Amino acid sequence: MKVTGAVGIITGGGGGLGAGVARMLAAHGGRAVVLDLETSAAADLEREVTNVTFVPTDVSVPDQVRAAVDRVRAEYGRIDLCVNAAGISPAQRVVDRRGRAHDLPTFEKVLDINLVGAFDVIRTVAAAMSGNEAGPDGERGLIVNVSSAAGLEGQVGQAAYTASKGALIALTLQLARDLAIHGIRVMTVAPGIMDTPMLAGIDGDRRAALVDLHVFPKRLGTPEDFAALVKCFMEVTLLNGEVVRLDAATRL
């Protein structure tokens, strides 16, 4: 898939990793449509970067997802790329030190946004992509899901987040198989520790400790690293049904 001129939907693209992809697409003459919350930084990104469009959308509300995808199709004629980066990561132990159990609404909310919301976007966008004219190799689209190292190695307090991100990893090959008849590829990224607003508020010492966990290179990942990986997925058609860690060999 050519990056130049590609139309991409990026959920959670108002900040962090998703915004990195939006900037990358725009820089290559593509169109980035950011589906993010009204309260996010997406409106600022739209003002700052030409070729970025913000469509306020809560991915956990099916009517909003449907309306957003319909709008993108009507305005731009096709959807080539979909990056599912919307996500939340509240921390809570299954049973805390005082003996209190994890509350169920929090667990359900994380699954609702990180997994059910992502699946709703995938199914809606893939149906739209299936109407694209096929490119070389019969390709009609690429879906990139953003999992996490926590989807493979959950840390303390990450039960809900790990369940949601692990499910995205498990879905990767299944989705690639299901969508193959339409020429749609599916890739998943499992980032390690990325320097995004999710890390805001971490003090200097803690940050240095996180950097030190990296085997090589000794630095946190960036939205630019993530965007470069998505660009590689777009360009190398043989990549499909695979999970790629983006973590400088870090194991938490």
Ligand X SMILES: NC(=O)c1ccc[n+]([C@@H]2O[C@H](COP(=O)([O-])OP(=O)(O)OC[C@H]3O[C@@H](n4cnc5c(N)ncnc54)[C@H](O)[C@@H]3O)[C@@H](O)[C@H]2O)c1
Residues that bind ligand X (CB under 6 A): 11-12, 14-18, 36-37, 40, 57-60, 85-89, 113, 117, 146, 148, 191, 193-194, 196-199
Preceding omega of 90 cis (within 30 degrees of 0): no
Which residue's CB comes closest to ligand X?
Answer: 16
Three-state DSSP class for residue 246: strand
Closest CA to 10 of 239, 233, 246, 227: 227
Closer residue to ligand X in complex, CB, 147/240? 147
Active-site annotation holder among 161, 179, 221, 229: 161
Closer residue to ligand X in complex, CB, 30/87? 87
Considering the complex, what minimum distance in angstroms separates the CB of residue 13 from ligand X? Answer: 7
**What whole-number distance in Å separates Cα of residue 102 and Cα of residue 110?**
13
DSSP secondary-structure letter at 193?
Answer: S
Three-state DSSP class for residue 169: helix
Angle at 18 between CA 247 and CA 227, to 5 degrees: 55
Chain-centre distance for alpha carbon 114: 9
Considering the complex, what minimum distance in angstroms separates the CB of residue 86 from ligand X? Answer: 3
76 is catalytic: no
Q: Distance of CA 249 to CAs 143, 154, 209, 216, Å?
A: 24, 16, 15, 7
Considering the complex, what minimum distance in angstroms separates the CB of residue 142 from ligand X? Answer: 17
Considering the complex, what minimum distance in angstroms separates the CB of residue 197 from ligand X? Answer: 4
What is the torsion angle, in degrees rounded to the nearest 10, for the CA atoms of residue 196, residue 202, residue 206 and residue 208? Answer: 40
Closer residue to ligand X in complex, CB, 3/226? 226
The strand pairing partners of 97, in sequence order, are none
Closer residue to ligand X in complex, CB, 18/154? 18
Tell me which residues are annotated as active site.
161
